Structure 1
């Protein structure tokens, strides 16, 4: 299926690994020129080398901290300078620390809010005039299924990520019709973090192999496995495309059916 994105430009944050990297890869496959971002420059350059083999889109690596206002301004400016505009913004960020409520202090709350919510606020503000100039700008926010159902020991993610969904829904009307805004809510996916946790379990003797550990992690998922990050990346590319042109203001769970929420 041709998503009609060839020649477009996208900025994908926190894309040196995981779901952000998969989203950037999916866009490059569609011929989109992409600026990727991360804090670790060597890791970012390695991701660039891998992503640019996926398709015809060009890839530019721009390091930056999503909690730094100046870095966010530079991310958007680099995208516009390199490719002459900005058509699609995909926001991703690392998860906040886990832990129960009574072990979470004020600094933890402020840092999580700055990383998860204010990064999207600042990115949307900087990107808006450029997204509006194109033929159909889009914003896709990658959050978590925790906005649908609270997950044990993830009080920060459960609470703070809700603000991103409220923002996304608001932008879907305030920025319309020139810009559409949607969100994806990932469940368990085989990211670097999951791979590390499974490998640690194997080292502790809990599983005989990585494959056995991974299968155990997907045992409660109705489709019988945890997700492939590229599956989520393909959904992000679709939501960025004209093929999804009547989808606006939605939050799409991508969790293999593991969630039990009706809505």
Structure 2
């Protein structure tokens, strides 16, 4: 299905791996010119090279830490300059540390808020004037944990809920010129799931990696982890005119 977004421009945060990268890939396959972002320069270069071979979209990369205000401002500026504008913003972030409530301190909460909430606040603030010019879109990749708490992920479970409230508010304040939606992925086959299972192994909560994997999939009707591109293609759809009546969804 052609989504009608060829030659548009997009910025995808935290996109050198996982669901962010899959979203950038799906957009590039549709002919969107995409700027991707990560903190590791080598990993960023490898991702840019890979994504420039998947479709017509011109993919560029900018190093930056999305929890830092100045880095976010620079990311948006570079995207507008490199891609001649900004039509679509996709916000994504790595997960905060796996912890139970009693093991967290104030710094954990401050850092998680900067990573998960302020990265969205700042990137939207910097992007709004450009998105308005072309009836743009904002898609936030968050987590199913905002609907159903996941054990040992108190930071993610709690802080991500703020983003849902923000996106629903933005859909009203910025619409209809700009649409804002959230996707709440369950477990997908990414490095994040591998990391969480390994943490459970270290804690002694499971006896083998396979046991941990089964724990993530046992309640999923499809009885498997999601494929990153399945989520990426949803993000591309929500960024397109094909979803023009969807605004404020989560």
What TM-score comes out, normalization by structure 1 length?
Answer: 0.88
**Partner residue in 2 for 1:117:** 117
* Counterpart in the other structure of 1:84: 84
Residue in 2 that maps onto 1:63: 63
Structure 1 residue 52: Cα displacement? 1.3
Q: Secondary structure at the match of 1:20?
A: helix
Aligned pair count reads 245
Structure 2 residues not aligned, in runs of 5+: none
* Partner in structure 2 of residue 32 of structure 1: 32
Matching of residue 228 in structure 1 with residue 230 in structure 2:
no
Cα offset, 1:216, TM superposition? 6.5
Distance 1:54 1:76 in 2: 23
Identify if the C-alpha distance between structure 1 residues 145 and 217 changes in structure 2 by more than 3 Å, giving closer, same or farther: closer
Could you tell me how far apart the structure 1 residues matched to 2:113 and 2:191 are?
Answer: 23
**Where does 1:182-221 land on structure 2 (aligned, <5 Å)?**
182-195=181-194, 206=208, 217-221=216-220
Give the conservation status (yes or no) of the 8 Å contact 2:39–2:65: yes
Tell me how far apart the structure 2 counterparts of residues 195 and 244 of structure 1 sit (CA, whole Å): 33
Contact 2:98 2:196 in 1 (8 A): no
Q: Which residue of 2 aligns with 1:93?
A: 93
Q: Give structure 1 stretches of 5+ with no counterpart.
A: 252-263
Q: Which residue of 2 aligns with 1:261?
A: none
Deviations 1:92-130 (A, max 9, x none): 001011111111000000000011001100000000000
Query: How far does residue 53 in structure 1 lie from its aligned partner after superposition?
Result: 1.1
The question of whether the paired residues in 1 share the 8 Å contact of 2:45 and 2:61 is answered with yes
Deviation at 1:84, TM superposition (A): 1.2
Matched residues in 1 for 2:75 and 2:153: separation? 29
Shift of 1:67: 1.3
Cα distance in structure 2, aligned partners of 1:18 and 1:230: 9
Instruction: Give how far 1:220 is off.
Output: 2.7
Match of 1:175? 174
Cα deviation code 1:155-198 (max 9, x no counterpart): 11111101100100010011111100000001100002334566
Q: Hey, what's the Cα distance between the residues in 2 that align with 1:205 and 1:160?
A: 30
Relative distance call for 1:162 and 1:237 in structure 2 (3 A) is same
TM norm structure 2:
0.93
Residue 148 of structure 1 corresponds to which residue in structure 2? 147
C-alpha separation in 1, matches of 2:86 and 2:247: 19
Q: In the alignment, is residue 50 of structure 1 matched against residue 57 of structure 2?
A: no
Residue 129 of structure 1 is matched in structure 2 by: 129
Cα separation, 1, equivalents of 2:212 and 2:93: 26
- For 2:191 and 2:156, locate their aligned partners in 1 and report how far apart those are by CA, in whole Å: 19
1:118-157 residue CA offsets vs partner (Å, 9 max, x unmatched): 11000000000000011x2000000110110111111111
1:108 corresponds in structure 2 to 108
**Alignment-derived partner of residue 5 in structure 2:** 5
Give, in whole Å, the separation in 1 of the partners of 2:112 and 2:198: 27
Deviations along 1:39-72, whole A, 9 cap, x unmatched? 0010111111111111110000000001111111
